[in-house]
């Protein structure tokens, strides 16, 4: 067996080992607290992204705002799992099909992108404020899984948290940054359903690591 083939097999084994030992991580990657009042979607929404290497079962997970209480949180509906590198939108809605149609029309010109997924939440006690608020995500046991806070919203821009911060978020989406673009009908800027660059960086880094091993082995 050639040294190159050996190197490839070794690299594959290393990558498999990294994937197998990595842990899934859910981040709140984007929030639009002004969408209910300044968009044809007429619903606030946030985005969860799985930055890990394995799927996450989110059955029974809930969301709360800045009351920060599991007891007042609302169930996340319509989505039961988030796969590695996947971003999922959750909108405040009692009619998910209708809200998703409005969302797809506003952001994607009526054509649903491949892989786009949307869930919902509804009930009293939650309403993301444009003057500042928070998003808290709990698992079914009430353990906090992700949380961010944000200040005053900017008309026309979502909050970009592709960096996966767990504290205050102040960065607004900008066209061309982390996949953000201007919505087709509302002119809002964001990247709904698009995997943010930092979320995909782990896989990219792993690929480069494999190439590095191959090159070093071949050189040897």
**pLDDT, tens only, 3-37:** 433 443 334 444 434 333 334 599 999 999 999 99
* pLDDT classification of 155: cutoffs 50, 70, 90: confident
Helix axes 197-219, 3-21, angle to 10 degrees: 150
96 phi and psi angles, rounded to 5 deg: -60, -40
- Count the Cβ atoms, other than its own, within 10 Å of residue 142: 12
Taking Cα atoms as reference points, which of 59, 32, 17 lies closest to residue 145? 59
Task: Give me the pLDDT at residue 118, please.
Answer: 98
Task: Give me the pLDDT at residue 124, please.
Answer: 87
Residues 6+ apart with CB under 8 A from 71: none
Residues 6+ apart with CB under 8 A from 54: 22, 23, 24, 84
Question: What is the residue whose two structure tokens read 């010109």?
Answer: 109
Taking Cα atoms as reference points, which of 7, 4, 14 lies closest to residue 209? 14
Q: Report the SS3 class of residue 187.
A: coil
| pLDDT, tens digit (0-9, with 9 covering 90-100), for 41-64 | 999 999 999 999 999 999 999 999
Residues 6+ apart with CB under 8 A from 216: none
Instruction: Kindly state the average pLDDT of the residues 79-107.
Output: 97
**Helix (H) or strand (E) segment spanning residue 91:** strand 87-92
25 phi and psi angles, rounded to 5 deg: -145, 125
Burial class (CB in 10 A: 0-12, 13-18, 19+), 211: exposed
Taking Cα atoms as reference points, which of 2, 7, 1 lies closest to residue 212? 7
pLDDT tops 70 at residue 172: yes
Q: Report the SS3 class of residue 160.
A: strand
């Amino acid at each position: 067996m050639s040294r190159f083939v050996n190197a490839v097999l070794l690299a594959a084994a290393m990558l498999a080992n990294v994937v197998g030992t990595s842990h899934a991580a859910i981040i709140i990657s984007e929030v639009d607290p002004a969408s209910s009042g300044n968009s044809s979607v007429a619903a606030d929404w946030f985005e969860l992204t799985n930055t890990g290497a394995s799927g996450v079962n989110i059955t029974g997970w809930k969301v709360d705002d800045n009351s920060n209480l599991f007891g007042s949180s609302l169930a996340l509906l319509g989505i039961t799992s988030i796969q590695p590198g996947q971003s999922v939108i959750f909108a405040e809605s009692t009619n998910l099909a209708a809200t998703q149609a409005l969302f797809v029309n506003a952001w994607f010109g009526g054509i649903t992108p491949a892989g786009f997924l949307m869930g919902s939440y509804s009930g009293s006690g939650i309403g993301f404020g444009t003057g500042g608020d928070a998003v808290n995500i709990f698992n079914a046991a009430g353990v906090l899984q992700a949380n961010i806070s944000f200040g005053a919203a900017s008309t026309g821009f979502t909050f970009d948290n592709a960096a996966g911060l767990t504290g205050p978020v102040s960065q607004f989406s900008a066209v061309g940054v982390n996949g953000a673009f201007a919505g087709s009908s509302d002119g809002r800027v964001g990247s709904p359903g698009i995997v943010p660059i930092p979320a995909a960086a782990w896989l990219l880094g792993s690929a480069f690591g494999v190439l590095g091993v191959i090159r070093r082995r071949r050189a040897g």
